[in-house]
Chains A and B, each alone.
Chain A
């Protein structure tokens, strides 16, 4: 079946530094899935951060960006300058359908930003 790999379980970054959280996927179907980043802030539920449904395009939200690289089957999350408020758990996910909840998730990356 499909799988989504986030290589880092935890990332610790100093405030105002840049960030990359890695995500790659492996799919058994032919074609290009829809790709997502979800985030869970402390004390809150899981919520959509950004999505890209067209291979080769970039999505952005709250200062974060992710580019859908179809050749590398990657969807890394980046931010030029992180803040303490970005501390959260970030999940990469994919889907093949228009049903937004039929998702295959990565294991998540916990981001800790310190001042």
Chain B
């Protein structure tokens, strides 16, 4: 079975650009999570979907971050406009009920 797939693996953006990160959860999983990882803040939960419905949308990230789940097998995280402080690794994870959480390999974003 395929795990969580994130694309692209690396993204370089200029300040002010719009970028879209993509995630495909494990087939059949109905919970999907977006995390951001930085050296300063560590791992922070950005958004959480259950059965495509947005259940949690981190307050600190609402301003320029928007996560969407267009169907049960695809989610996007849009950052608009990007700022240098958004440089981080963005992780997507999925689970089914209370079972094991599976993480993707992450997208490393660099904003110049």
Contacts and interface: CB of A to CB of B under 8 A. Distances in A.
Given A100-B95, A102-B56, A108 B101 contact: no
A107 interface: yes
Interface in B19-40: 31, 33
A11 interface: no
A101 B33 contact: yes
Interface residues of A, number: 17
B45 A101 contact: yes
A106 B94 CA distance: 20
A55 interface: no
Nearest to A103: B45
Contact of A107 (B42, B98, B99, B106): B42
Indicate the size class of the contact surface on chain B.
20 to 34
B8 interface: no
A99 B48 contact: yes
A100 B43 contact: no
Interface string A42-56: 001111100000000
Chain B binding surface SS class = strand
Contacts of A90: none
A99 B30 CA distance: 11
Contacts of B95: 100-101
A105 interface: yes
A98 interface: yes
Contacts of A100: 31, 95, 98-101
A68 interface: no
A38 B19 CA distance: 29
Contacts of A102: 33, 45, 48, 56
A33 B7 CA distance: 33
Given A45-B104, A98-B98, A101-B33, 10 more contacts: A45-B91, A46-B103, A99-B50, A100-B95, A101-B45, A102-B33, A102-B48, A102-B56, A103-B101, A105-B42
